[in-house]
């Protein structure tokens, strides 16, 4: 089979798969590896048809150029090197790795013991995982050239939504489009957005993601998407015909309707989880470069995310990966901005959070990224994790203090008038520094964390019994008021009161309007 292809040394740049000279150039970063291999697969993704040794270059970059090869080709990488978990080295040539720079993926991810580096514990696994992991797919990409709305922050009204949940039961959207990217750009949904005066949709995670094994073991799945498998590929479950260009079509149609697209992005951790997690991608290329570990104990991951691992944004190649991904979604996929989940993690080094962190400086100096909307969730569970007001201009920040005091006011709590006045005055006490002001606050009352607006006026306590976590998960500080009955009721007085309370929240959020 190798006689069908001509292999040459290839180029170091760009990383990933790039179409060049009647073929495809492949490049990956693995400086501690002893050998890296490119593996090509047939159209089914089941049979490995070629395994070629790649060539080492300066800076730990491995490369190879294969011709002839066309867009749509399926591939993966295998990397050899020392396997020593005590040193934080997890190379295992038996594990097919997803290209961190893959622009498209083919096939489904299936949980199995094949993905784990140690099997049994303490023994390097010799089992091939290729049958259970998606293949990276060579994609032909083009720059997004359509006109963008470019709304001023002072005119911005953001609608946070889940791609599936927002349209999966919309009666006016065709069933084939319900719960898909193209459902969000359907005229019926756009009409709904216009009726609210919405200028931007903020999509909950759309990067390719997988469900955690402990969920699938219970017959459940990760609905929200905060478990990223790849930073460049749109999630397959939101595509109608498995075509990544559907995402660009959605963006274009929303732009035509004068609506911007902001992505909720999860660059703080990945689906490879903690010490007992699988080897799927980054971990198999350079575990210590991509993940933060305890000083002098590289076998232990720092877990500031609560998800098992934490991205090592201090490493130059990890920083490059995140920046390259952000630029790709702007330049190629056409998005207008980002909301960074647990953003403080991306500005934390060994010495703690810094408003002048390399990541923040790199974004500020980038000619592409410094022109888009940048929103931080300014907290995490790590040391010094609460940093509301600490991000530099031009970053905007989710303002949980506004959220909570507004809820408490309409619940008729006492002793909050002074705090309420500050929030209604633009939270100057938080943002009036370094030429910042009210527009740096993203004011909101409900979001994907905690109760919806309907739940906020219908329940005193959370009721997450169905997912097997004994109601321990989910946000507890909702400051809610059920208006007299817990949950559903047919009492007309309570129904009317709940509707009035929801209207009160809407009125408070939009008048006066800073940036909601």
Q: What is the mean pLDDT of residues 403-423?
A: 94
Picking from 103, 137, 171, the residue at the C-terminal end of a domain is: 137
Judgement on whether residues 162 and 28 belong to the same structural domain of the protein: no
Residue 305: how many other CB atoms lie within 10 Å? 22
Q: How many structural domains is the chain composed of?
A: 2
Q: What is the mean pLDDT of residues 262-276?
A: 98
pLDDT band at 514 (very low <50, low <70, confident <90, very high): low
Distance from chain centroid for Cα 429: 31
* Burial of 187 per CB tally in 10 Å (0-12, 13-18, 19+): exposed
Residues 6+ apart with CB under 8 A from 42: 49, 74
Structure tokens of 67? 């011709």
Q: Which residues have a catalytic role annotated?
A: 341, 377
**pLDDT for 194-252, tens place per residue?**
999 999 999 999 999 999 999 999 899 999 999 999 999 999 999 999 999 999 999 99
CATH number, domain of 238, equals 3.20.20.80
Query: How far lies 123's CA from each of 25, 133, 288, in Å?
Result: 35, 22, 20
Structure tokens of 297? 């104990």
> Domain for residue 513, yes or no?
no
DSSP letter for 21, please: T
CATH number, domain of 118, equals 2.60.40.10
Judgement on whether residues 326 and 200 belong to the same structural domain of the protein: yes
Judgement on whether residues 228 and 249 belong to the same structural domain of the protein: yes
> Domain for residue 21, yes or no?
yes
Please give the angle made by the CA atoms of 87, 29 and 237, to the nearest 5 degrees. 100
Judgement on whether residues 124 and 153 belong to the same structural domain of the protein: no
**Start-end of H helices in 274-433:** 282-290, 316-331, 358-365, 400-410, 417-424, 428-431
pLDDT band at 334 (very low <50, low <70, confident <90, very high): very high
> Domain for residue 490, yes or no?
no
> Domain for residue 508, yes or no?
no
- Range of 194's domain? 149-394
**pLDDT for 77-94, tens place per residue?**
999 999 999 999 999 999
Judgement on whether residues 155 and 131 belong to the same structural domain of the protein: no
Task: Work out the mean pLDDT of the chain and round it to a whole number.
Answer: 95
> Domain for residue 507, yes or no?
no
Residues 6+ apart with CB under 8 A from 402: 423, 427, 441, 443, 444
Picking from 353, 373, 394, the residue at the C-terminal end of a domain is: 394
Nearest to 105 by CA among 229, 212, 3, 200: 229
Contact status, residue 130 vs residue 76, Cβ threshold 8 Å: yes
Picking from 81, 110, 137, the residue at the C-terminal end of a domain is: 137
Residue 5: HSE in the Cβ half-sphere, 13 Å Cα cutoff? 21
What is the pLDDT at residue 348? 96
Judgement on whether residues 10 and 159 belong to the same structural domain of the protein: no
Judgement on whether residues 371 and 275 belong to the same structural domain of the protein: yes
Q: What is the mean pLDDT of residues 341-362?
A: 96
> Domain for residue 413, yes or no?
no
């Amino acid at each position: 089979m190798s006689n069908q292809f001509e292999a040459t040394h290839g180029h170091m740049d760009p990383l990933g798969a790039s179409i060049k000279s009647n073929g495809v150039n492949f490049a990956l970063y693995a400086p501690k590896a002893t050998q890296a291999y490119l593996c090509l697969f047939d159209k089914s993704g089941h049979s490995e048809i070629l395994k070629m040794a790649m060539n080492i270059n300066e800076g730990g970059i491995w490369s190879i150029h294969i011709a002839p090869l066309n867009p749509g080709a399926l591939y993966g990488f295998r990397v050899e090197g020392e396997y020593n978990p005590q040193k934080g080295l997890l190379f295992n040539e038996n594990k097919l790795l997803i290209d961190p720079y893959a622009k498209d993926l083919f096939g489904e991810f299936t949980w199995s013991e094949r993905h784990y580096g140690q099997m049994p514990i303490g023994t390097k696994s010799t089992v091939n995982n290729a049958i259970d992991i998606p293949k990276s797919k060579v994609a032909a990409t083009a720059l997004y050239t359509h006109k963008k709305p470019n709304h001023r922050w002072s005119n911005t009204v953001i609608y946070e939504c889940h791609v599936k949940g927002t349209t999966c039961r919309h009666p006016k959207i065709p069933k084939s489009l319900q719960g898909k990217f193209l459902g969000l750009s359907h005229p019926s949904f756009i009409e709904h957005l216009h009726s609210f005066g919405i200028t931007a949709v903020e999509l909950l995670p759309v990067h390719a993601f997988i469900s955690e094994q402990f969920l699938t073991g219970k017959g459940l799945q990760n609905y929200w998407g905060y478990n990223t498998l790849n930073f460049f590929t749109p999630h397959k479950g939101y595509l109608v015909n498995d075509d990544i260009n559907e995402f660009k079509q959605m963006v274009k149609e929303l732009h035509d309707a004068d609506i911007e697209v902001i992505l909720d992005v999860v660059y703080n951790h990945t689906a490879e989880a903690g010490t007992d997690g699988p080897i799927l991608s980054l971990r198999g290329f350079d575990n210590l470069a991509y993940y933060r570990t305890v000083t002098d104990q590289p076998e232990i991951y720092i877990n500031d995310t609560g998800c098992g691992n934490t991205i090592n944004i201090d490493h130059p190649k990890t920083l490059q990966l995140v920046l390259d991904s952000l630029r790709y979604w702007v330049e190629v996929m056409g998005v207008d901005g980002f909301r960074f989940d647990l953003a403080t993690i991306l500005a934390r080094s060994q010495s703690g959070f810094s408003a002048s962190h390399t990541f923040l400086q790199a974004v500020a100096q980038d000619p592409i990224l410094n022109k888009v909307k940048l929103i931080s969730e300014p907290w995490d569970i790590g040391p010094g994790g609460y940093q509301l007001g600490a991000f530099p201009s031009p970053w905007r920040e989710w303002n949980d203090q506004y959220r909570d005091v507004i809820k408490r006011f309409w619940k008729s709590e006492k002793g909050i008038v002074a705090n309420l006045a500050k929030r209604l005055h633009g939270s100057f006490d938080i943002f009036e520094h370094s030429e910042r002001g009210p527009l740096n606050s993203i004011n909101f009352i409900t979001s994907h964390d905690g109760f919806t607006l309907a739940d906020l006026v219908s329940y005193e306590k959370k009721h997450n019994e169905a997912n097997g976590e004994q109601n321990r998960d989910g946000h507890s500080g909702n400051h809610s008021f059920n208006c007299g009955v817990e949950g559903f009721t047919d009492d007309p007085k309570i129904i009317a009161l709940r509707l009035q309370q929801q209207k009160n929240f809407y009125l408070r959020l939009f008048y006066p309007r800073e940036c909601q």
